[in-house]
Amino acid sequence: MAQGTEKKGGFKIASVWGTAVELASTDGFIYTGAKGPSGDKKLLSLQSVGLNPETEPERGNIEGLDLGVSANLDYYNLVQVLACLFGHDTVTQQGAVDVYDHLLVWRRELMAAGLNSDLEIFGTMALDHMEHGIHEYPSVKLVGATISGKAGEFLKVELQGMAIGPELSSATNTEETFAALTYLTKTRYVLFGHGVFRLNLQDDVALSDTEDVQAIDEFSLAIKRGMSPHFCAEDPNAVTRGYQTRQPYDQGKSTWDLTLRFPTRDAANLWLLESAIGGETLKFDATFTGRQITGAYYDLFRLRLPALSPYAPSVDLNNPNQHPFEVKFMATASEDEGSVAGMTDVTGFGDLMFRNSNSTDFVG
């Protein structure tokens, strides 16, 4: 059983901004909470002295486009959504069996001021709000995700998007079509206890299970694109006139922030922190291994970060009794891209990989 109240959601990559696509049978996912935009437009009115005020205020930009969805992370259902955020999903079959690695590679731009259709990656999302009905968001641009976990719990993911909607009586994703929505899995969640965390200096040898495993009891990885919405006066309908939301595009820099909590101070983590605070760059990976798929293959989730620099740590290196303690790192696009031991194939800030039995290439 997932932690939190389970509700049905669905997501499918679309091709025309502002136009919903019908969710197919296996586009479902399970979510535990959501906070979406109202779709209301700001009312513009003028204050006057000694004049009769206008009786009908004009409508301005939509007030808020932010959509947030929280879920327990599993090895299957949310890969399509995360692929939309990253921009690349490279699928590789393992052996001659139905096992596939989905490598999510960070694309530096997902919308270059509307000039390149290859960068226009977004989708339609629908969420079952129980007694409040089905809320359809015809177009959602993923702009961020926070993946986190603590000892004894499922990993969690908080998805952030910019969305048009909601549509409460959609003709595309109706109650009937939504009822037919299914999941790739309802049970194969990523548990914190499935994980192994490794950390060493960037210019050191490849990360090793014998030398570099760290005791971690809580972590989070916050990924955020520098996206901005864009409003235009382009609605030809005199009745519904008002500013329309164009597809958000990259504006400003993206950030990846990793936070690790260490339960105790020990020789293994102390020298790493001293090196990092002294200006050294670290590398990091975490691998979570779940249930057997077939033969020697198991569900797997991995994240890799080849270049980490610490923010000001909340730890006093001169106080050996301070524990647990937390350190926040900034991930950067490595200057040594392609030459970091054990991560020569990692580009940009880092990557995520899911291994499961789904062969679909979501983004290509």
Do residues 207 and 304 touch, judged by C-beta distance below 8 A? no
- Give per-residue pLDDT as tens, 138-193: 999 999 999 999 999 999 999 999 988 888 889 999 999 899 999 998 889 999 99
Mean pLDDT of 322-337: 82
* pLDDT tens readout for residues 245-277: 677 777 778 899 999 999 988 888 888 888 887
Question: How many whole angstroms separate alpha carbon 315 and alpha carbon 141?
Answer: 37
Residue ranges per structural domain of the chain: 7-37+64-356
pLDDT band, residue 2 (cuts 50/70/90):
very low
What pLDDT, on the 0 to 100 scale, is given for residue 62?
Answer: 55
**Between residues 107 and 22, the one the model is more confident about:** 22
pLDDT tens by residue, 31-86:
999 987 755 544 444 454 555 555 454 545 555 578 999 999 999 999 999 999 99
Q: How far apart are CA 297 and CA 17, in angstroms?
A: 39
Indicate if the pLDDT at residue 112 is higher than 50: no
Helix (H) or strand (E) holding 272: helix 267-277
pLDDT tens, residue by residue, 289-308: 999 999 999 999 999 999 99
Residue 246 CA to residue 114 CA, distance in Å, equals: 9
Residue 13's contacts (CB-CB under 8 Å, 6 or more residues apart) are 21, 80, 84, 121, 122, 123, 362, 363
Contact criterion met (CB below 8 Å) for 59 and 70: no
